[in-house]
Amino acid sequence: MNLPKSTHAGIGAAIPISLKDSPAMKARVTITLKNGVLDPQGKAIHHALEGLGFGGVNDVRAGKLIELDLADGTSDADIEEMCKKLLANTVIENYRIERA
């Protein structure tokens, strides 16, 4: 349904406005194996792609995507700590944080 905004003006109007002021914060953490770390899963996927006749693939690396739904005020430093302490194992993995 595509009701014009004016329909909601009046009773209850404060709620959508406050939601608009503080949209849900999301962050997306992409975890990949460091360069030089053997990726057996990537290799298997590569092999399977070749088996399907896709010849143009030079290399495959498999990783992980973790989406975080965050409370207001969660800082970049907080997310960084989450990555270092749990989400990624920095011995073998890199992480990239994107805020949405």
Partner 1 sequence: MKTAVIVFPGSNCDRDLAVAFEQATGKKPHMVWHRETELPEGIDLIGVPGGFSYGDYLRSGAMAAQSPVMRAVSDAAGKGTYVLGICNGFQVLTETGLLPGALMRNAGIQFVCRDVKLTVANSQSAFTSHYKADEEILIPVAHHDGNYFADAATLDRLEGEGRVAFRYAEEVNGSARNIAGVLNEGGNVLGMMPHPERMSEAAHGGLDGKKLFDALASA
Binding residues for partner 1, rule: CB under 8 A, are 37-38, 40-41, 44, 86-87, 89, 91-92
Identity of the residue, 27 or 87, whose beta carbon is nearer to partner 1 in the bound complex: 87
Q: Which long-range contacts (CB under 8 A, 24 or more apart) does 3-12 make?
A: none
**Shortest Cβ distance from residue 99 to partner 1 (Å)?**
21
Identity of the residue, 14 or 52, whose beta carbon is nearer to partner 1 in the bound complex: 52
60, 100, 61, 65: which is closest to 83 by C-alpha?
A: 65
**Shortest Cβ distance from residue 40 to partner 1 (Å)?**
5
Report the run of H or E that residue 49 belongs to, with start and end.
helix 40-51
Q: Is 57 helix (H, G, I), strand (E, B) or coil?
A: coil
Identity of the residue, 10 or 36, whose beta carbon is nearer to partner 1 in the bound complex: 36
